[in-house]
Amino acid sequence: MKRQRIWFDSLAALIVFCSTATGGYCASPDDSPECGGIFSITDENDLWANPFGPHQDRHYTHGIKLAYIGGDNAMTNLTTRLNRFFWWGHQPWPGNLGFVAGQDMYTPEDIRDPNPILTDRPYAGWLYAGLVYERHNERSAHFATMESFEVNFGVVGPDSLADDTQTLIHRWRCPDDLPEGWKNQIRNEPGLVLKYARLWRYSLNDVTARFVDLIPRAGFEAGNVATFGTAGVAARAGYNLPPDFGPQIIDSPASVNGGSNQHTPPFSCYALAGVDERYVAHDITLDGNTFCSSQSVDKYNFVNDLSWGFAVGLGKHIQLSYTQITRSKEFRGQQGKDRFGSINLKIEFAL
């Protein structure tokens, strides 16, 4: 219980800091801010790819991420300084500051085998918390950009609590299928990841922006947990498209897809499809520990994601989305592609 208490205390301290940092005065270029905020929770699982069919824990098997970001047009002294530090752009962008926390879990295909499975992905967990700074530039209803800067710190290995989490869930949901191999997971190692993303939202004009748009995106992560660059594009089609940038999965360089503003419709629904390509230079959950020897596999550097899904906005305050991702093989010897589902609930506290 000692390691759980340490992480709970650290997360509580981070929440207090971020709440203070985002609670400053509100100011925007037109002096009419919306001083709300966004709370987002994302749950990903290979079970969500086919909840009514046969299920087996496999590779990236579960992830959960919580995020809170200050109001879409709210600016504090700190975010103003950050905006000046990241100086590019034609005008001061509305910026918001927040925090994230989450846990990712990775297993081989056979979790009942207590022995090391050298030809399959090793057991690994990543527990983290971090700060995020996000800013938008909405030049018109049919053209906007978003940038996201993030730093995450945490731990991989037994202190990530991934073994405890999976065992607890299986005891509750499927007590006859308990994982037996977590003693073979990669070792404890502190982790640091820097993340950057830039997204663009295009439509032909202000009228078509309500029904269809295109969202190119690019970004990177750098750190001892993961180092990769990624680029992709998503298309949305529906009714009353919200002025955000579509759902983001947990390992996207961007944590949240933006928030509501004066153009947010009271109801929206849309379907989406996307493709993303990444070059993976380092992945500790595949390559093993950085500073000591541990189980590893021979990874592929190029990995792609194909995604589709849908989202529904209820009023200006609640948005629920589902995205299914098909990921290409990540290591040599992998039997088939992986699929997982991502469910996101976003609550917006707009005034």
DSSP, collapsed to helix, strand or coil, labels residue 127 as strand
What is the per-residue pLDDT for 260? Answer: 64
pLDDT at 41 over 90: yes
pLDDT score, position 79: 63
Going 84 to 90 to 92 to 96, the CA torsion angle's sign is: negative
Mean pLDDT of 217-240: 98
What is the C-alpha to C-alpha distance for residues 35 and 112, in angstroms, rounded to an integer?
50
User: What pLDDT is stored for residue 201 in this prediction?
Assistant: 96
Look up the pTM and report it: 0.86
* CATH code assigned at 219: 2.40.128.140
| Residue 26 phi, psi dihedral angles, 5° rounding | -105, 135
Residue 85 is predicted with a pLDDT of 67
Cβ atoms of 344 and 247 closer than 8 Å: yes
Least confident of 7-11, 117-121, 164-168, 198-202: 7-11
pLDDT of 74 above 60: no
d(CA 247, CA 325): 12
Q: Is the dihedral of CA 280, 282, 283, 288 positive or negative?
A: positive
Mean pLDDT of 190-197: 97
pLDDT of residue 70: 83
The answer to whether the Cα torsion of 16, 19, 20, 22 is positive or negative is positive
Report the mean per-residue pLDDT for the chain: 85
CA-to-CA dists, residue 196 to 216, 220, 225, angstroms: 15, 6, 15
DSSP 182: G
Using pLDDT thresholds of 50, 70 and 90, give the confidence band for residue 76.
low
Mean pLDDT of 199-227: 96
**pLDDT exceeds 90 at position 334:** yes
Query: What sign has the CA pseudo-torsion 158, 219, 246, 27?
Result: positive
Look at the chain and report how many structural domains it folds into.
Answer: 1
Asked whether residue 301 carries a pLDDT value surpassing 80, the answer given is yes
DSSP string of 13-47?
HHHHHHHHHTTS----TTS-----EEEEEEEEEGG
User: Are the beta carbons of 294 and 156 closer than 8 angstroms?
Assistant: no
**pLDDT over threshold 70, residue 23:** no
The domain of 125 spans: 2-348
